[in-house]
Amino acid sequence: MVLTIVIAESALQLVPRQIQSDSQIKQYAQKRGKRPNEVLLDRAFHHAAMLKLAHRRNGAQIERMGRPDIVHTTLLQILETPLNWEGQLQVIVHTQEERVITVNPKVRLPKNYVRFVGLMEQLLTQHRVPIDGEALMQVEKTDLAETIRNLESDKLVGLSILGEPILLHNLTDQIAKFEKPVVFIGGFPRGHFSEETRRLMDEICCVDRKTLDAWVAAGRFVYDFEWGIGVAQGRIERKN
Protein backbone atom coordinates (compact mmCIF):
# COMPACT_ATOMS: atom_id res chain seq x y z
CA MET A 1 0.00 0.00 0.00
CA VAL A 2 1.30 3.41 -1.00
CA LEU A 3 0.06 6.85 0.01
CA THR A 4 0.43 9.55 -2.63
CA ILE A 5 0.68 13.14 -1.47
CA VAL A 6 0.04 15.76 -4.13
CA ILE A 7 1.25 19.24 -3.21
CA ALA A 8 -1.18 20.98 -5.55
CA GLU A 9 -1.12 24.41 -7.23
CA SER A 10 2.29 25.08 -5.67
CA ALA A 11 3.72 28.60 -5.73
CA LEU A 12 6.91 27.39 -7.39
CA GLN A 13 7.99 28.80 -10.77
CA LEU A 14 10.73 30.69 -12.55
CA VAL A 15 10.32 34.48 -12.79
CA PRO A 16 7.64 35.08 -15.44
CA ARG A 17 8.64 36.74 -18.70
CA GLN A 18 6.64 39.93 -18.04
CA ILE A 19 8.91 41.01 -15.16
CA GLN A 20 12.26 39.56 -16.21
CA SER A 21 13.46 43.02 -17.19
CA ASP A 22 12.38 44.57 -13.88
CA SER A 23 15.34 46.16 -12.07
CA GLN A 24 14.69 44.28 -8.81
CA ILE A 25 14.72 40.95 -10.63
CA LYS A 26 17.78 41.84 -12.72
CA GLN A 27 19.74 42.88 -9.62
CA TYR A 28 18.73 39.74 -7.75
CA ALA A 29 19.68 37.46 -10.65
CA GLN A 30 23.02 39.20 -11.14
CA LYS A 31 23.88 38.89 -7.45
CA ARG A 32 23.32 35.14 -7.77
CA GLY A 33 25.28 34.88 -11.03
CA LYS A 34 22.21 33.80 -13.02
CA ARG A 35 20.00 35.21 -15.77
CA PRO A 36 16.58 36.64 -14.86
CA ASN A 37 14.85 33.74 -16.64
CA GLU A 38 16.81 31.21 -14.57
CA VAL A 39 15.79 32.24 -11.05
CA LEU A 40 12.80 31.19 -8.93
CA LEU A 41 10.16 33.77 -8.20
CA ASP A 42 10.28 34.50 -4.46
CA ARG A 43 8.01 37.00 -2.74
CA ALA A 44 10.62 37.56 0.00
CA PHE A 45 12.92 39.16 -2.59
CA HIS A 46 10.66 40.17 -5.48
CA HIS A 47 7.79 41.88 -3.77
CA ALA A 48 8.04 45.14 -5.70
CA ALA A 49 8.37 43.38 -9.05
CA MET A 50 5.38 41.20 -8.21
CA LEU A 51 3.27 44.28 -7.55
CA LYS A 52 3.92 45.32 -11.14
CA LEU A 53 2.83 41.90 -12.29
CA ALA A 54 -0.43 42.46 -10.42
CA HIS A 55 -1.33 45.22 -12.89
CA ARG A 56 -1.19 42.72 -15.74
CA ARG A 57 -2.84 39.77 -14.04
CA ASN A 58 -5.55 39.09 -11.53
CA GLY A 59 -4.38 40.40 -8.11
CA ALA A 60 -5.67 37.33 -6.26
CA GLN A 61 -3.57 35.16 -8.55
CA ILE A 62 -0.40 37.14 -7.73
CA GLU A 63 -1.06 36.69 -4.01
CA ARG A 64 -0.73 32.94 -4.50
CA MET A 65 2.64 33.09 -6.31
CA GLY A 66 6.31 33.21 -5.30
CA ARG A 67 6.43 30.94 -2.25
CA PRO A 68 8.79 28.05 -3.09
CA ASP A 69 9.51 27.75 0.64
CA ILE A 70 6.11 26.05 1.04
CA VAL A 71 7.21 23.15 -1.16
CA HIS A 72 10.60 22.97 0.55
CA THR A 73 9.32 22.88 4.13
CA THR A 74 6.58 20.41 3.21
CA LEU A 75 8.99 18.04 1.46
CA LEU A 76 11.36 18.22 4.45
CA GLN A 77 8.50 17.19 6.68
CA ILE A 78 7.36 14.14 4.70
CA LEU A 79 10.37 12.68 2.88
CA GLU A 80 12.46 11.79 5.92
CA THR A 81 9.76 9.75 7.60
CA PRO A 82 9.26 6.09 8.48
CA LEU A 83 6.48 5.92 5.83
CA ASN A 84 8.92 6.92 3.09
CA TRP A 85 11.74 4.78 4.50
CA GLU A 86 9.39 1.80 4.27
CA GLY A 87 8.67 2.58 0.60
CA GLN A 88 5.03 3.48 1.18
CA LEU A 89 5.02 7.14 0.18
CA GLN A 90 4.93 8.78 -3.22
CA VAL A 91 5.19 12.55 -3.57
CA ILE A 92 4.06 14.68 -6.50
CA VAL A 93 4.47 18.43 -6.72
CA HIS A 94 2.04 20.17 -9.04
CA THR A 95 2.66 23.85 -9.80
CA GLN A 96 0.44 26.78 -10.72
CA GLU A 97 1.93 26.69 -14.21
CA GLU A 98 0.72 23.10 -14.70
CA ARG A 99 4.06 21.45 -14.26
CA VAL A 100 4.15 18.12 -12.47
CA ILE A 101 7.30 17.25 -10.55
CA THR A 102 7.83 13.62 -9.59
CA VAL A 103 10.07 13.08 -6.58
CA ASN A 104 12.20 9.97 -6.30
CA PRO A 105 11.68 8.62 -2.75
CA LYS A 106 15.46 8.21 -2.49
CA VAL A 107 16.15 11.93 -2.95
CA ARG A 108 18.06 13.54 -0.10
CA LEU A 109 16.68 17.04 -0.23
CA PRO A 110 18.97 20.01 0.61
CA LYS A 111 18.00 21.10 4.11
CA ASN A 112 19.23 24.62 3.38
CA TYR A 113 16.65 26.77 1.61
CA VAL A 114 19.16 28.60 -0.58
CA ARG A 115 20.51 25.26 -1.82
CA PHE A 116 16.95 24.02 -2.43
CA VAL A 117 16.19 27.10 -4.54
CA GLY A 118 19.32 26.40 -6.59
CA LEU A 119 18.20 22.81 -7.12
CA MET A 120 14.69 23.83 -8.21
CA GLU A 121 16.14 26.36 -10.66
CA GLN A 122 18.25 23.58 -12.14
CA LEU A 123 15.21 21.30 -12.30
CA LEU A 124 12.96 23.84 -14.02
CA THR A 125 15.57 24.80 -16.61
CA GLN A 126 16.97 21.28 -17.28
CA HIS A 127 13.75 19.32 -16.60
CA ARG A 128 15.52 16.77 -14.42
CA VAL A 129 18.14 16.58 -11.66
CA PRO A 130 20.76 15.40 -11.85
CA ILE A 131 21.19 15.84 -15.57
CA ASP A 132 22.67 12.31 -15.92
CA GLY A 133 22.04 9.03 -14.14
CA GLU A 134 18.97 8.14 -12.09
CA ALA A 135 16.60 11.11 -11.87
CA LEU A 136 15.95 12.33 -8.32
CA MET A 137 13.37 14.80 -9.58
CA GLN A 138 11.76 15.24 -12.96
CA VAL A 139 9.40 17.84 -14.27
CA GLU A 140 6.86 17.58 -17.08
CA LYS A 141 4.45 20.02 -18.61
CA THR A 142 1.30 18.01 -18.17
CA ASP A 143 -2.20 18.03 -16.86
CA LEU A 144 -2.79 17.25 -13.20
CA ALA A 145 -5.96 15.39 -14.22
CA GLU A 146 -3.94 13.14 -16.53
CA THR A 147 -1.33 12.51 -13.81
CA ILE A 148 -4.04 11.57 -11.33
CA ARG A 149 -5.77 9.27 -13.83
CA ASN A 150 -2.48 7.41 -14.31
CA LEU A 151 -2.22 6.77 -10.58
CA GLU A 152 -5.40 4.64 -10.74
CA SER A 153 -6.22 5.69 -7.21
CA ASP A 154 -9.20 4.22 -5.36
CA LYS A 155 -9.59 7.21 -3.00
CA LEU A 156 -8.88 10.90 -3.59
CA VAL A 157 -9.18 13.34 -0.69
CA GLY A 158 -8.34 17.02 -0.44
CA LEU A 159 -7.59 18.94 2.75
CA SER A 160 -9.20 22.36 2.89
CA ILE A 161 -10.81 24.67 5.41
CA LEU A 162 -13.86 24.59 3.10
CA GLY A 163 -14.32 20.82 3.49
CA GLU A 164 -16.42 18.67 5.80
CA PRO A 165 -15.14 18.80 9.40
CA ILE A 166 -13.60 15.49 10.48
CA LEU A 167 -10.94 14.46 12.99
CA LEU A 168 -7.72 13.79 11.12
CA HIS A 169 -7.34 10.49 13.01
CA ASN A 170 -10.71 9.34 11.72
CA LEU A 171 -9.92 10.45 8.19
CA THR A 172 -6.59 8.61 8.03
CA ASP A 173 -8.24 5.51 9.57
CA GLN A 174 -10.73 5.50 6.71
CA ILE A 175 -8.11 6.19 4.09
CA ALA A 176 -5.79 3.46 5.35
CA LYS A 177 -8.41 0.93 4.13
CA PHE A 178 -7.78 1.82 0.47
CA GLU A 179 -5.04 0.45 -1.74
CA LYS A 180 -3.82 3.62 -3.48
CA PRO A 181 -5.12 6.64 -1.63
CA VAL A 182 -4.18 10.15 -2.76
CA VAL A 183 -4.30 13.26 -0.58
CA PHE A 184 -4.15 16.78 -2.03
CA ILE A 185 -2.50 19.50 0.03
CA GLY A 186 -2.42 23.10 -1.17
CA GLY A 187 1.05 24.43 -2.02
CA PHE A 188 -0.14 28.06 -2.10
CA PRO A 189 -0.04 30.70 0.67
CA ARG A 190 -3.70 31.77 0.56
CA GLY A 191 -7.02 31.09 -1.10
CA HIS A 192 -8.42 27.70 -1.99
CA PHE A 193 -8.03 24.89 -4.50
CA SER A 194 -9.22 25.80 -7.99
CA GLU A 195 -12.46 24.36 -9.30
CA GLU A 196 -10.37 22.22 -11.65
CA THR A 197 -8.37 20.65 -8.84
CA ARG A 198 -11.46 20.17 -6.67
CA ARG A 199 -13.08 18.16 -9.43
CA LEU A 200 -10.33 15.53 -9.05
CA MET A 201 -11.29 14.79 -5.45
CA ASP A 202 -13.87 12.32 -4.12
CA GLU A 203 -14.22 14.41 -0.99
CA ILE A 204 -12.83 17.51 0.69
CA CYS A 205 -12.11 17.38 4.41
CA CYS A 206 -11.39 20.03 7.02
CA VAL A 207 -9.24 18.88 9.94
CA ASP A 208 -8.99 22.09 11.99
CA ARG A 209 -10.98 25.28 12.50
CA LYS A 210 -8.05 27.29 11.18
CA THR A 211 -6.06 26.73 7.99
CA LEU A 212 -2.97 24.67 8.75
CA ASP A 213 0.30 25.39 6.97
CA ALA A 214 0.90 22.83 4.21
CA TRP A 215 3.88 21.32 6.06
CA VAL A 216 1.89 20.90 9.28
CA ALA A 217 -1.06 19.29 7.51
CA ALA A 218 1.18 17.02 5.42
CA GLY A 219 3.39 16.00 8.36
CA ARG A 220 0.39 15.14 10.50
CA PHE A 221 -1.29 13.24 7.69
CA VAL A 222 1.79 11.08 7.04
CA TYR A 223 2.22 10.37 10.74
CA ASP A 224 -1.40 9.41 11.27
CA PHE A 225 -1.39 7.29 8.14
CA GLU A 226 1.69 5.44 9.43
CA TRP A 227 -0.26 4.75 12.57
CA GLY A 228 -3.30 3.63 10.60
CA ILE A 229 -1.31 1.00 8.70
CA GLY A 230 0.89 -0.06 11.64
CA VAL A 231 4.24 1.27 10.43
CA ALA A 232 5.24 2.89 13.72
CA GLN A 233 4.47 -0.23 15.75
CA GLY A 234 6.46 -2.49 13.42
CA ARG A 235 9.50 -0.25 13.44
CA ILE A 236 9.73 0.21 17.17
CA GLU A 237 9.34 -3.54 17.74
CA ARG A 238 12.24 -4.21 15.42
CA LYS A 239 14.28 -1.68 17.40
CA ASN A 240 13.62 -3.61 20.63
Residues that bind its own copies (CB under 8 A): 31, 42-45, 67, 69-70, 73, 76-77, 80-82, 85, 110-115, 165-169, 206-210, 212-213, 215-216, 219-220, 223, 227, 232-233, 235-236, 238-240
> Please, what is the minimum distance in Å from the beta carbon of residue 17 to its own copies?
24
> Please, what is the minimum distance in Å from the beta carbon of residue 62 to its own copies?
17
Of residues 62 and 109, the one with the C-beta less far from its own copies = 109
Of residues 105 and 110, the one with the C-beta less far from its own copies = 110
> Please, what is the minimum distance in Å from the beta carbon of residue 70 to its own copies?
8
Of residues 199 and 239, the one with the C-beta less far from its own copies = 239
Of residues 163 and 181, the one with the C-beta less far from its own copies = 163
> Please, what is the minimum distance in Å from the beta carbon of residue 147 to its own copies?
27
d(CA 58, CA 188): 15
The three state secondary structure string of the chain is: CCEEEEEEEECCCECCHHHCCCHHHHHHHHHCCCCHHHCECCHHHHHHHHHHHHHHCCHHHHHCCCCHHHHHHHHHHHHCCHHHHCCCEEEEEEECCCEEEEECCCCCCCCCHHHHHHHHHHHHHHCEECCCCCCCEEEEECCHHHHHHHHCCCEEEEEEEEEEECCHHHHHHHHCCCCCEEEEEECCCCCCCCHHHHCCCCEEEECCCCCCCHHHHHHHHHHHHHHHHCHHHHHHHHHC
Of residues 177 and 235, the one with the C-beta less far from its own copies = 235
> Please, what is the minimum distance in Å from the beta carbon of residue 214 to its own copies?
11
* Contact call for residues 221 and 183 (beta carbons, < 8 A): yes
> Please, what is the minimum distance in Å from the beta carbon of residue 209 to its own copies?
4
Of residues 104 and 189, the one with the C-beta less far from its own copies = 189
* Contact call for residues 148 and 123 (beta carbons, < 8 A): no
